[in-house]
Amino acid sequence: MLPEVASWWRRRTSDTADWPLDTLLAAKGATRISVVLPARDEEATVGAIVAAIRAELIEQVPLVDEIVVIDSRSTDRTAEVAAAAGAEVVAQDAVLPETGRMSGKGEALWKSLAATRGDLIVFVDADLRAFSTGYVTGLLGPLLTDPSVGYVKGCYDRPLVNGENRVEGGGGRVTELVARPLINLHWPLLAGVMQPLGGEYAGRRALLERLPFVTGYGVEMGLLLDVFQDAGLDAIAQVDLGRRIHSHQSNEALGAMSSQILLTVWSRLQRHGRMLPLEAPATALTQFRRAPGGHDVLVSDVSVGERPPMVEVPGYASVRRPLLS
């Protein structure tokens, strides 16, 4: 990691345990807090997430002011289940209808800005299993206690869980194979962000409403790069939320997700003036591995060389063995 990234990583990384409820309640003051769940066909999981937030962070303590589920064209009972659990449910296409209908998670999150009232907005995926309200309190900690922080990403261990089959570290496939390498190549100052695509994050409305939202699955990559461009690295913090288990899509579906993320990166390379002249891409890849008390940081050199066409090599003709006659 670059020295300035290592410094950021030490200063701006905390743990959800660092943000107990009494600290947050003391810091809340008049700050309004919205929790948003983008949900497409999540009837199996959305209810438990909403119920936990309502019980622990609204009814037991007055921390969260509203829970809004953005129903993203679900074809199942997501809306009914979320409402029964205590969420305000808003249909994605019913928000700002005059702006037309775009699709995907990014559209749901962009519309959520017009469907909520909070000064701080916490985004939580609706497909989480084993959800803890510590996700929400952890993400709020830096925002409620440090005005210089504008955007907080969650980070966590991400096993790949399919039924009884569990592969530790097998989740976050697009993160590890697409997002992290691209960030390290073109935005090495963001190499310390451990889960750039994680679906749990929070931000100040005053920052989020100034930023474009990429639709589809480009939204996380787009927001991270645009927050960095607009507000700088130190406006970003990350909180270790422990472990994340969610519903996994097929590799085929993640291929489409990867394409949307590549298109987002391409657009930001151009828009942020990183395409011409393309700065020599950084050749160090920073990865993270859970270790006692935190994470080990693994930095590897991923540089590649290139050989010229063999026909241009002077000695080639003389060493080229004739085919056996």
Cα gap 62→220, rounded to integer Å: 29
Long-range contacts of 268-275 (CB under 8 A, 24+ apart): 268/221, 268/222, 268/225, 268/226, 268/229, 269/186, 272/225, 272/229, 274/186, 274/187
Residues 164 to 203 in contact with ligand UDP, rule: CB under 6 A? 199
How crowded is residue 278: how many other Cβ atoms within 10 Å of its Cβ? 10
Tell me the window of 131-139, 205-213, 224-232, 246-254 that interacts with ligand XDX (CB under 6 A).
246-254
Residues 214 to 243 in contact with ligand XDX, rule: CB under 6 A? 217, 220
What x-and-dash track marks residues 129-168 binding ligand UDP by CB under 6 A?
----------------------------------------
Residues 59 to 78 in contact with ligand UDP, rule: CB under 6 A? 72
Q: Which residues pair with 166 in a beta bridge?
A: 161
Residue of this chain nearest to ligand XDX (CB atom): 199
Cα gap 173→162, rounded to integer Å: 14
Residue 38: which of ligand UDP, ligand XDX, none does it interact with, CB under 5 to 8 A by kind? ligand UDP
Percent helix, strand, coil in the chain, to 5, is 45, 20, 35
Residue 172: which of ligand UDP, ligand XDX, none does it interact with, CB under 5 to 8 A by kind? ligand XDX
Q: Which of 47, 51, 82, 104 binds ligand UDP (CB under 6 A)?
A: 104
Cα gap 189→227, rounded to integer Å: 13
Site of interaction with ligand XDX (CB under 6 A): 105, 125, 158, 171-175, 197, 199, 217, 220, 246, 248-249, 254, 257
